[in-house]
Structure 1
Amino acid sequence: MIEATKNQKMLFVVVAVVTAVYSIFAAVLMTEPGQSLNLPRSWVVAYYHYRWLFIGLNVALLIYLWYLHLSLKIWTRFWMSLATVGVVVCIIAANFLLTAFFPSYQYGANYVSIEEADGILDDNEVIYAVEINGEVRGFPRKHLEVPHIAGDNIGGKDVVMTFCALSNLPVVIEQDIGFGKSDLGILIQTHNNLVMVDRQSGELIQQITRQTEFSDSEIVSHPNTMTTWRSFKELYPDAKIFIYEFNRVVDSLLLALFEGPMEKQFSNEHGPIFPTLAMTDNRLLPKEQVWGFDAGNVQVAFTRSFAKQNPLFRFSLEGQSLVMVYDEEHDIVNLFDGSIDGQLVDFESVDFRGVTENGQLVQLPMHNGVFWMVWSHWYPDTQVYDG
């Protein structure tokens, strides 16, 4: 009888420890601490893919622990209740916390006029312009940092601006990712870049590569133009501006928590916040911002200094004629297809909108201002144009 009691106590302790370790590990894996520990991205994807199984196992362990507690009376009800709260908190953290902290505005985003936004934004604030069929929306970087996602119908296209503060990267994609109407939200970040989840289909999307995890869906991208608010309001006087209202109590807490780490992420004196990048490509300084273009099989990156020295740069990539344009007045770097209707065209000048004396060039999507350490991690074979 005594031996049996010892065995039962040992069983209870083992189940309690396994439950605690399992719960805490899941919470760490699926939140920022997991990236601080450089846990593999594949683990994150696997947990998400089988999340309901893992949640069920977690709940089953807790139920079994309660069964042992009621049978053996080893812990007091207080300690069992405390353990239960801990497990529930871990389940929430692993599966629902980031969604609650960072609400998506794919639908119902707040857009205001230039006049109203001018009372909110500073002239030197970075803003991304999205122009489709003559209609323009502006997305201030500061107002994207909490929601990360803001959508709208622009020029007849349902698109969504996605933003990763760790990468300093805006990417505009169409809202239909191959499964009809999507419902995009934040899952986590891996290798200092945002991973989005479509809550309709269950698909995962790596923002910088636009690659889907569980299907062969091809994400359609649209270009954006990076400039300052001072230039934006001059260039696009009829545009609507996305404004995040910062009206939740948790917003103030998030901004306070992120202020120090984000200063380090932009500082050349510190490495990346999360030590998950290869950091092996020293062609440029890790924190240098580049303008990257992904042609599928090959990629190219421009530095601002190269753009300034070569404000009209024609080159070829994968057999495609391309034109990089730099507008010094507004500090804009844009990329265009060098042909019109499949025919190469000659021109002496082209503005940042792609207007030439012989026709309108089509703007191509670039990764504007992304940190070199992030770009080179995801695209290690990229070509570099540096002044």
Structure 2
Amino acid sequence: MKAFFFFGIAGLIIFEIIKVYFIMPFPGSQHDEVIALSYFLFSYRWIFRIVFFILIVVGFSTAWKKSWKWLLILVMLIAIAVCWFFNFKALADKMFLQPVHLVLKNKTENKVNENQQVIAIEINGEAKAYPIEFLTFHHQVQDSIGGKKFIATYCSVCRSGRFFEPVVNGKEEKFRLVGMDHFNAMFEDATTKSWWRQENGKAIAGSLKGTFLPELPCMQLSIKKYFELFPDGLVMQPDSAFKDEFDAEAKYEQGKYSGGLTGTDSSSWQKKSWVVGVTAGKESKVYDWSELKKVRVINDVIGNKNIVLALSSDDKSFIAFERPTSENFHISNDTLFTTTDKYDFAGRNYSAPNEHLKMINAYQEFWHSWNYFHPESKK
């Protein structure tokens, strides 16, 4: 009977560690295909806990009589400490919190440095932007634009920013940060408890496995370029409740970190090198950031679509469009032009303001991330 007690204590400690280990970036935890096991352990956590608790209770009396009492007290304190740490400190949604006060300001009132980068969304002439500095901590910000709800998401370990509609089974949904899979942030919806990848909005565990969240257009720009393109736009301001959590020097977004989970490789096509992935329909291609900085504009064909990818003179803002014809685009002073037309960096025709190039999503990302989630993508 004494063995029941120690088996229950050991089992509880191991279970609480493993349950979190596979969905957080601990050494060796993110390389294997263990999401099904992780989801099973998390879904049935209370059954495991009850079983181990019963074993502890059944064996406690005998263990108390036949073992050193200080040893029993010690192992119980260890079990309590492990349970507390892995449920109240080491879980993603306990470490990275949502804004308490979501405030967005216009150009006149904005306090965020104009050289910092944002992921921005524009729908029907209304624009909002979210600094990467804040999103690397929050991971998601829920907001609305033009009456449409959305979540702005970012994963610093993948260097991936996305906008999604928080709609599951046709209904508006709430999400919490649950952990990560293959170094990419995962969210859990409140109703079905399915787990969703941040990089592509795909449900990878739960009853909705295989389905996708609706994705919205996304631009990555400097704040200066953002206000040039959208002078009436709004920018998220820092929440004073988390001022100590933000990367005030913007070292991450400038690629000044080296090593670790969020460091940057300066050479091309290394795990932590920057790339830009472009998707057009079901096809995608990936481009080296260093090469894009050299040429400024890339004309290409993805699937059956002619595309153009352009980098601003600020070396931060980039955007991609479908080309109306096979004619190549050129860039000068952040103006895109062909032999007959000129467009601003947002794709608006200078001669015909109501004529817009069709934007397609282009994503800056670490090469290891894009390569894993888009293995079919061509260089």
Which bin holds the TM-score, normalised by the shorter protein? 0.7 to 0.9
Q: Of 284, 296, 305, which aligns to 1:299? A: 284
Q: 1:332 aligns with which of 317, 329, 335?
A: 317
1:215/1:27 CA distance change after superposition, 3 Å: closer
Match of 1:323 in 2: 308
Give per-residue Cα distances to partners, 1:181-200, cap 9 Å, x unaligned. 11122111222221122122
Partner of 1:202: 193
The answer to whether residue 83 in structure 2 is matched with residue 103 in structure 1 is no
Higher helix share: 1
Q: Secondary structure at the match of 1:127?
A: strand
More displaced stretch, 144-153 vs 238-247: 238-247
Distance in 2 separating the partners of 1:138 and 1:51: 34
Post-superposition offset of 1:271: 6.2
Give the letter aligned to residue 86 of structure 1: A
Q: CA offset at residue 201 of structure 1?
A: 2.4
With structure 1 as the length reference, what TM-score do the two structures score?
0.78
- Aligned mate of 1:362, from 355, 358, 365: 358
Partner of 2:83: 88
Give the CA deviation at 1:313: 4.0
Letter in 1 for 2:115: N
Mean Cα displacement is larger for which, 285-294 or 83-92?
A: 83-92
Question: In structure 1, what is the Cα distance between the partners aligned to 2:298 and 2:246?
Answer: 40
For 1:273 and 1:316, the matched residues in 2 are separated by 32
- The answer to whether the 8 A contact 1:312-1:350 is kept is no
CA distance in structure 2 between the partners assigned to 1:49 and 1:108 by the alignment: 35
2:153–2:162 contact (8 Å) kept in structure 1: yes
Q: Distance in 2 between the 1:22 and 1:51 partners? A: 10
Whole-Å Cα distance in 2 between the matches of residues 244 and 378 of structure 1? 31
Partners of 1:169 and 1:370 within 8 A in 2: yes
User: How far has the Cα of 1:263 moved from its partner?
Assistant: 6.1
Task: Judge conservation of contact 2:20–2:91 (CA < 8 Å) in 1.
Answer: no
Q: How far has the Cα of 1:283 moved from its partner? A: 6.3
For the structure 1 residues 309 and 32, does the alpha-carbon distance in structure 2 shift closer, same or farther, using more than 3 Å as the test?
closer
1:135 CA drift (Å):
0.4
CA contact (8 A) 1:336 1:362 kept: yes
- Aligned pair 1:131/2:122, yes or no? yes
CA contact (8 A) 1:102 1:146 kept: yes
Q: Distance in 1 between matches of 2:93 and 2:257?
A: 31
Report if the CA contact (8 A) 1:151-1:160 is conserved.
yes
**By how many angstroms is 1:91 displaced?**
5.7
- Residues 1:140 and 1:62: Cα distance change in structure 2 (over 3 Å): same
**Could you tell me whether the CA contact under 8 Å between 1:103 and 1:185 is conserved in 2?**
no
Deviation at 1:264, TM superposition (A): 12
On the 8 A contact 1:286/1:371 being kept in 2, the answer is yes
Preserved contact between residue 289 and residue 371 of structure 1 (Cα < 8 Å): yes
In structure 1, how many angstroms separate the alpha carbons of the residues matched to 2:177 and 2:106? 28
Is the contact between residue 178 and residue 219 of structure 1 (CA under 8 Å) also seen in structure 2? Answer: no
Letter in 2 for 1:154: I
In 2, Cα distance between equivalents of 1:9 and 1:201: 41
Quote the residue 2:331 is aligned against.
Answer: none
Counterpart in the other structure of 1:38: 29
- Relative to structure 1, the CA distance from residue 225 to residue 266 in structure 2 (aligned partners, 3 Å threshold; closer, same or farther) is same
Structure 2: gaps (5+ residues): 326-337
| 2:44 match | 53
Alignment-mate amino acid for residue 293 of structure 1: V
| TM-score, normalised by the number of residues in structure 2 | 0.79
What residue is the counterpart of 1:4 in the other structure? none
Residue 20, structure 1, aligned to residue 16, structure 2: no
CA distance in 2, matches of 1:82, 1:156: 51
Deviation at 1:37, TM superposition (A): 1.8
Q: Distance in 1 between matches of 2:191 and 2:135?
A: 22
What amino acid is the match of 2:120?
A
Find out whether 1:270 has 2:247 as its counterpart: no
Deviation at 1:142, TM superposition (A): 0.6
Give the drift of 1:176.
1.2
C-alpha displacement of 1:171:
0.6
Determine the C-alpha separation between the residues in 2 that align with 1:153 and 1:171.
Answer: 15
Q: 1:310 to 1:301 in 2, by over 3 A?
A: same
Structure 1 match to 2:334: none
Of the three residues 103, 106, 113, the one matched with 1:113 is 106
Check the 8 A contact 2:348/2:357 in 1, yes or no: yes
2:202 to 202, 211, 220: 211
**Alpha-carbon shift at residue 164 of structure 1 (Å):** 0.6
Q: Is the 8 A contact 1:205 1:212 kept in 2?
A: yes
Gaps of 5+ in 1: 1-7
Q: 1:192 to 1:30 in 2, by over 3 A?
A: closer
Aligned alpha-carbon RMSD (Å): 3.5
* Residue type of the alignment partner of 1:30: I
Q: Residues 82 and 373 from structure 1, CA distance in 2 versus in 1: closer, same or farther, beyond 3 angstroms?
A: same
Q: Is the contact between residue 119 and residue 221 of structure 2 (CA under 8 Å) also seen in structure 1?
A: yes
Match of 1:189 in 2: 180
| Distance in 2 separating the partners of 1:43 and 1:381 | 22
Q: Which residue in 1 is equivalent to 2:232?
A: 238
Is contact 2:96-2:137 (8 Å) kept?
A: yes
